[in-house]
Structure 1
Amino acid sequence: MAAIAQPVQLRPDAGSGALDGGSERYEKTLRELAGLYRDDAAFERALASDDGAPVYWVESSTVDRGPGALTVGVSTLEPGRVGREYAMTRGHLHGKAEHAELYYGLAGTGVILMDSLDGESRAIEITPGVAVHVPGHWVHRSVNVGAERLATLFCYGTDAGQDYQLIAEAGGMATLVVAREDGGWTTVPNPDHRGYRAGAVL
């Protein structure tokens, strides 16, 4: 009989975005997000003053890879804007599209932006103590609409996988989260969005 996975204690640090007890980390710099924002000129201006530090990072714990296993982690996104658009993660649909994901706010003010594969869009604010349940078949990303780091605790089935290319192929998500003239955030349609590819549901 194969050895079973061992329990671990996880301690998220909302301020630093660290996950004590985690086993994996990845990060993205602004330069690695070329093509994510619509305003190319604003992106080039942001790059000109960028120091190369990560703009978002993920620390996670995966103790098993078999059926029923969970990946738990902390996603941290620095504040800022590129043109009118707020700082955001790349976003994804799960490789097994039926898999859901849970986000729980630890720090900051953000939006979980979602597109269903049948044409609906939702933007739900997330703050400390607020959870957002993303059902299966919804493309989703985090957007930081505040002045501080946005940190969320997340959990999904390890075998769900992620499809990051889907959004780029569609010309971005259907909705943009942008700054209002009088402050705060709002959503507007993305004129570049071409719809998600056939066969996205696996």
Structure 2
Amino acid sequence: MTAPPVPPVALTLRPEVGRLGGSNGRYERFLADLEGLYRDADAYRRALAADDGRPVYWVESSQTEDGPGGLITGISVLEPGTVGEEYAMTRGHLHAIADRSELYVGLAGRGVMILDDLGGNSQVVEINPGQAVYVPGGWVHRSANVGTERLSTLFCYAADAGQDYAIIERAGGMASLVVRDGDGWAVQPNHDHLGYTVLPA
């Protein structure tokens, strides 16, 4: 007997308040969760001492089906700010099934995607409202907010992809840093970067 089809799901994007209507998952990350993310440890400690306890970023997502045929769709919302010279950013990840790709679409704010492949190539790509970034499998990626308002992006990836968040920590951070440059942003090499090691499953 054939299983009944999965019913469609309607979602409502609300980037102005950072919400996804119809979502069934949410997580938040606070500054205290991000120790080791920024290269200037002293600046991080000063920021933590002055922190007001609000989340730095959060994700609301919708997952209806499991396995490679299903998709996880969500909204990622990153508040503006800097720690030292680096702009606020997400933890970033490589998918646990490394060949899984992901699509990001800019909804609100000004941001960049920081991307490294496992072979030593690094790119930084703008993502603003109406712009999309396709992240192929095998690329470590994170978002940074280079504006003065919330950065909201829509994302979509295979439900079985998973995330390896620790790969960036093991590498001493990503290969590129996105830092303040006057009223804009610039890319600097991260001299602490050691290269990526993918642990066996």
TM-score bracket for the superposition, by shorter chain length: over 0.9
1:3 is displaced (CA, Å) by 4.1
Equivalent in the alignment of 1:187: 187
Q: Per-residue displacement from partner, 1:108-135 (whole Å, max 9, x unpaired)?
A: 0000000011110000001001001111
With normalisation by structure 2, the TM-score equals: 0.96
Equivalent in the alignment of 1:59: 60
Equivalent in the alignment of 1:83: 84
Q: Per-residue displacement from partner, 1:123-161 (whole Å, max 9, x unpaired)?
A: 000100100111110000000000000000000001111
What is the DSSP-based 3-state SS (H/G/I as helix, E as strand, rest coil) of the residue aligned with 2:56? strand
Q: Per-residue displacement from partner, 1:8-35 (whole Å, max 9, x unpaired)?
A: 1001111111100010000100111011
In 1, are the aligned partners of 2:67 and 2:158 still within 8 Å (CA)? no
Aligned residues: 200
Please list every run of 5 or more consecutive structure 1 residues that lacks an aligned counterpart in the other structure: none
What is the DSSP-based 3-state SS (H/G/I as helix, E as strand, rest coil) of the residue aligned with 2:137? coil
Superposed, 1:130-169 pairs within 5 Å as 130-169=131-170
1:199 is displaced (CA, Å) by 4.9
Equivalent in the alignment of 2:16: 15
Distance in 2, matches of 1:4 and 1:41, equals 54
Equivalent in the alignment of 1:170: 171
Distance in 2, matches of 1:122 and 1:169, equals 20
Computed over aligned residues only, the root mean square deviation of the Cα atoms, in angstroms, reads: 1.2
Equivalent in the alignment of 1:197: 197
Tell whether 2:3 aligns with 1:27: no
Q: Per-residue displacement from partner, 1:41-79 (whole Å, max 9, x unpaired)?
A: 111111121111111000000001033100000000000
What is the DSSP-based 3-state SS (H/G/I as helix, E as strand, rest coil) of the residue aligned with 2:48? helix
What is the DSSP-based 3-state SS (H/G/I as helix, E as strand, rest coil) of the residue aligned with 2:88? strand
Please list every run of 5 or more consecutive structure 2 residues that lacks an aligned counterpart in the other structure: none
Tell me the percent identity: 58
In 1, are the aligned partners of 2:167 and 2:196 still within 8 Å (CA)? yes
Distance in 1, matches of 2:58 and 2:5, equals 29
Distance in 2, matches of 1:126 and 1:32, equals 25
- Following TM superposition, the consecutive aligned residue runs of length 4 or more in structure 1 with deviations greater than 4 angstroms are none
Letter in 1 for 2:97: K
Distance in 2, matches of 1:75 and 1:67, equals 22
Letter in 1 for 2:180: A
1:5 is displaced (CA, Å) by 2.3
Call closer, same or farther: CA 1:198–1:31 in 2, change over 3 Å.
closer
What is the DSSP-based 3-state SS (H/G/I as helix, E as strand, rest coil) of the residue aligned with 1:160? coil
With normalisation by structure 1, the TM-score equals: 0.96
In 1, are the aligned partners of 2:82 and 2:88 still within 8 Å (CA)? yes
1:2 is displaced (CA, Å) by 3.6
Equivalent in the alignment of 2:108: 107
